[in-house]
Amino acid sequence: MSTAFEQLKQERIIAILRHVPVEQADGLIAALDRAGVVFVEATLNSDGALGMISRWREQYGDRMRIGAGTVLDVNMAKEAVSAGAEYLIAPNLDEAVVNYAREQSIDVYPGAMTPSEIVRAWNAGATAVKIFPMASMGLAYLREIRAPLSHIPMIATGGVRLDNIQQFIQAGATAVGLGGSIVNMDLVKEGRFDEIERNAALLVQAARRADDK
């Protein structure tokens, strides 16, 4: 088990940064850092994502884990690793990406939804499987698939908010991926980083307390 994944099992949250304006990106990452967010995923379908990964690894690498998201093929995986990504995340399963990540000794969290896809991703060598899109399926679905597949670590992504984050973790999610619920794009564009920090801090605290419930 990798050091990064062991830490993720404690932190529980991956902040997903998609289409963040380049001029606001550094203010956003600083706010998330202040809030106690450790795992941050810059999606590769965002302008300037590779530069963000490289810059953030240099500036925050001693206390944050910076990864790449929306890694759809091996070429994207190679670019992400070259930029310094510590882990790779995708909405889909591409075994070649999983194999490449394993060769590079970094974590990889491919996306899947059905039981067959989840098992296939796990058997391919995934560190954990991203269950996506959770917003469409909900907590009941997560509970159902956890029953026969409890040996597979799962990252619930989509539809996770402050009012239900503890329920997702209690339902068996090893961690959760948070997009709009932790990075409100209206606040980002307006530079209201103090509000983002406060909201992110509440999510971090809720996730850490989930096991105490």
Q: At what angle do helices 74-83 and 95-103 cross, to 10 degrees?
A: 30
Active site residue 41: yes
Structural contact between residues 159 and 135, judged by C-beta atoms closer than 8 angstroms: yes
For 121, other C-beta atoms within 10 Å of its C-beta total 25
189 assigned to active site: no
Q: Active-site residue among 130, 189, 197, 213?
A: 130
Indicate the residue type of 18: R
Give the active site residue among 9, 11, 23, 41: 41
Q: Rounded to an integer, what distance in angstroms lies between the CA atom of residue 106 and that of residue 98? A: 10
- Tell me 210's DSSP state: G
What would you report as the CA-atom Rg of the chain, rounded to the nearest whole angstrom? 16
> What DSSP designation does 106 have?
-
Instruction: Just list the catalytic residues.
Output: 41, 130
